[in-house]
């Protein structure tokens, strides 16, 4: 972790509807909060789109900062230790107050694929930020009136982080595309160009005592063929030799497969048996052999 001191150069106040971007110290409430934000492998980045503009917040990983001064004429009571953050506001980038979701949801909406129940879930999520939005506007206005009031900064950060938080972790899992959309919807969305991978786990035997395992859940045939042909699949010495590659047919490449298989046999024999079984599937064709 890097720790350094910073002298800020912010205006005493700023127009709440004007563009803004500055590095500043957001004081931590306690040592645990510093550890939560600082000891990360990557920077924490948040973009919040609202009807008045887009807010941006980037918290630097592995960096702790202490504000020891400010520009001339601004009083600083005492050093303030916290996280180093880049706070931005762009009033030109406005958008509706809706829960941010991957593009696949908008594709499904435009294509008319959503059921009434799914439409209700998404509408409910969009209503959730309305009350918190008013809190964000007030915290932003308070910051703009007095940028050097340190206790206000964590409140603004909290308001930004909380705007699109859903009331319950189970709701996040329910919005995962493989779970939210049913099989027919997923297949149609792939045909429309969306990437919706399934679970495709291929565990190859590394010795005569181990087994070959195949675990497929909602796995499109194109993904199965690609993972089977992947170079990493055939790197063990026991499996060197010609590999019968697979290819998904264009007409059925987006179809899904569920399969659980375990074989305990000699590695090359297991590979051959599974390869022949997969080639017999409707929608899977044999590709050219290749040596790995």
Digit-coded pLDDT (tens) for 185-220: 999 999 999 999 999 888 766 655 567 788 999 999
pLDDT at 287 > cutoff 70: no
Average pLDDT value over all residues in the chain: 83
Is 185 a member of any domain?
Answer: no
Q: Do residue 232 and residue 174 come from a single domain?
A: no
Q: Do residue 253 and residue 203 come from a single domain?
A: yes
Calculate helix-pair angle for 129-145, 152-162, nearest 10 degrees.
150
Q: Could you tell me the residue range of the domain that residue 113 belongs to?
A: 2-180
Check residues 73 and 188 and name the one with the higher pLDDT: 188
Q: Do residue 137 and residue 237 come from a single domain?
A: no
Domain total in the chain:
2
What SS3 class is residue 184? helix
List the one residue out of 228, 223, 205, 231 whose CA is nearest residue 286.
228
- Report the pLDDT value the prediction gives residue 291, as an integer from 0 to 100: 41
Label residue 292 by pLDDT band (50, 70, 90): very low
Q: Do residue 173 and residue 246 come from a single domain?
A: no
- The strand ranges marked E within 147-255 are 199-203, 212-220, 242-248
Q: Do residue 142 and residue 42 come from a single domain?
A: yes
In this structure, of 32-36, 55-59, 128-132, the range with the lowest mean pLDDT score is: 32-36
Is 193 a member of any domain?
Answer: no
Q: Do residue 170 and residue 223 come from a single domain?
A: no
Is 189 a member of any domain?
Answer: no
Query: Of 148, 180, 212, which marks where a domain is finished?
Result: 180
pLDDT digit string, tens, across residues 96-131: 998 889 999 999 999 999 999 999 999 988 888 887
Is 187 a member of any domain?
Answer: no
């Amino acid at each position: 972790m890097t720790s350094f001191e910073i002298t800020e150069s912010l205006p005493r106040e700023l127009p709440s509807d004007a563009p803004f971007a500055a590095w500043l110290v957001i004081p931590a409430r306690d040592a645990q909060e510093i550890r939560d934000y600082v000891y990360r492998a990557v920077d924490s980045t948040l973009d919040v789109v609202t009807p008045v503009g887009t807010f941006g917040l980037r918290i630097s990983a592995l960096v702790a900062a202490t504000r020891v001064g400010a520009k001339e004429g601004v009083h600083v009571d005492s050093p303030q230790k916290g996280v180093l953050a880049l706070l931005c506001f762009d009033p030109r980038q406005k958008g509706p107050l809706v829960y941010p979701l991957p593009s696949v949801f908008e594709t499904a909406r435009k294509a008319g694929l959503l059921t009434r129940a799914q439409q209700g879930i998404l509408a409910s999520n969009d209503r959730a930020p309305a009350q918190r939005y008013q809190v964000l506007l007030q915290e932003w206005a308070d910051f703009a009136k007095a940028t050097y009031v340190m206790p206000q900064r964590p409140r603004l950060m909290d308001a930004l982080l909380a705007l699109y938080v859903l009331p319950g972790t189970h709701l996040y899992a329910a919005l995962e595309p493989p779970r939210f959309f049913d099989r027919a919807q997923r297949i149609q969305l792939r045909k429309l160009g969306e990437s919706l991978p399934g679970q495709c786990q291929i565990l190859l035997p590394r010795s005569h005592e181990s087994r070959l395992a195949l675990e497929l859940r909602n796995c499109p045939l194109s993904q199965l063929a690609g993972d089977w042909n992947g170079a990493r699949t055939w790197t063990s010495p026991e499996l060197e030799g010609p590999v019968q590659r697979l290819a998904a047919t264009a007409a059925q490449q987006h179809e899904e497969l569920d399969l659980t298989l375990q074989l305990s046999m000699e590695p090359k024999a297991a590979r051959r048996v599974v390869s022949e079984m997969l080639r017999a599937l409707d929608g899977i064709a044999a590709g050219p052999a290749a040596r790995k």
